[in-house]
Chains A and B, each alone.
Chain A
């Protein structure tokens, strides 16, 4: 059973607010990922990290930042939330890389920006 946790599960906030979505895993995985998923749509990679102090941008990274100070923790920050950020955010981790190892996903954070 995967041990990867996301908080909050649900969040409703106003436009312009700064928010941080938390993601923690207890499996010791080096690789962690943030995806955005809208209903009926494919997952889009926002950011990823292959280890401590290593972060890379994905397809939709321009309006968010991440940090990887500890192996187990990979928070995602939106500096100024907009209604277009309304979506489901999924955190995932892997010990073998996406090309060989399975991804373990958190339960997701559903964000609504008014």
Chain B
């Protein structure tokens, strides 16, 4: 079956750096997405990786290793507003998104 694994919850301190990991096993691969979802709100797009390597976008970076079935989202200079769930999703061979359950990130002062 197809599977996306990411930690259920993580805690970090304001101003610090946190890395949220995502491993996947899917039938085919057509890209990996990260979304941010604040409590009670809609998910919003953060990043898309289809080739190996690091994609940087401001305080957020996303890394992909297709051979390892692995990605991470790196958040730098954490702010309280970064407290949210971070969803990893993989586009499979049929271009359907397979979603992880999300990682709830708690930022402490």
Complex Cα spacing A97 to B91, Å: 10
Q: Which of B30, B41, B43 has a CB less than 8 Å from the CB of A99?
A: B30
- Please give the residue numbers on chain A whose beta carbons come within 8 Å of chain B beta carbons, in ascending order: 40-45, 58, 90, 97-100, 102-108
Considering the complex, give the chain B residue whose CB is closest to the CB of A44.
B99
Distance (whole angstroms) from the CB of A97 to the closest CB of chain B: 6
A45 touching B42 in the complex, CB below 8 Å, given contacts A99-B30, A99-B31, A100-B31 = no
Q: Which of B35, B41, B95 has a CB less than 8 Å from the CB of A97?
A: B95
Complex Cα spacing A106 to B4, Å: 24
Query: Across the interface, which residues of B come within 8 angstroms of A103, CB to CB?
Result: 35, 43, 45, 97
Query: Across the interface, which residues of B come within 8 angstroms of A41, CB to CB?
Result: 101
The answer to whether A105 and B43 touch across the interface, beta carbons within 8 angstroms, is: yes
Distance (whole angstroms) from the CB of A27 to the closest CB of chain B: 14
Distance (whole angstroms) from the CB of A106 to the closest CB of chain B: 6
Give a binary string over B84-96; 1 marks a CB under 8 Å from any A CB, 0 the rest: 0001010100011
Complex Cα spacing A100 to B102, Å: 21
Distance (whole angstroms) from the CB of B50 to the closest CB of chain A: 8
User: Which of B30, B48, B91, B101 is the most central at the interface, judged by chain A CB atoms within 10 Å of its CB?
Assistant: B101
Complex Cα spacing A100 to B91, Å: 9
The answer to whether B102 and A107 touch across the interface, beta carbons within 8 angstroms, is: no
The answer to whether B30 and A43 touch across the interface, beta carbons within 8 angstroms, is: no
A102 touching B97 in the complex, CB below 8 Å, given contacts A42-B4, A107-B41, A108-B42 = no
The answer to whether B96 and A45 touch across the interface, beta carbons within 8 angstroms, is: yes
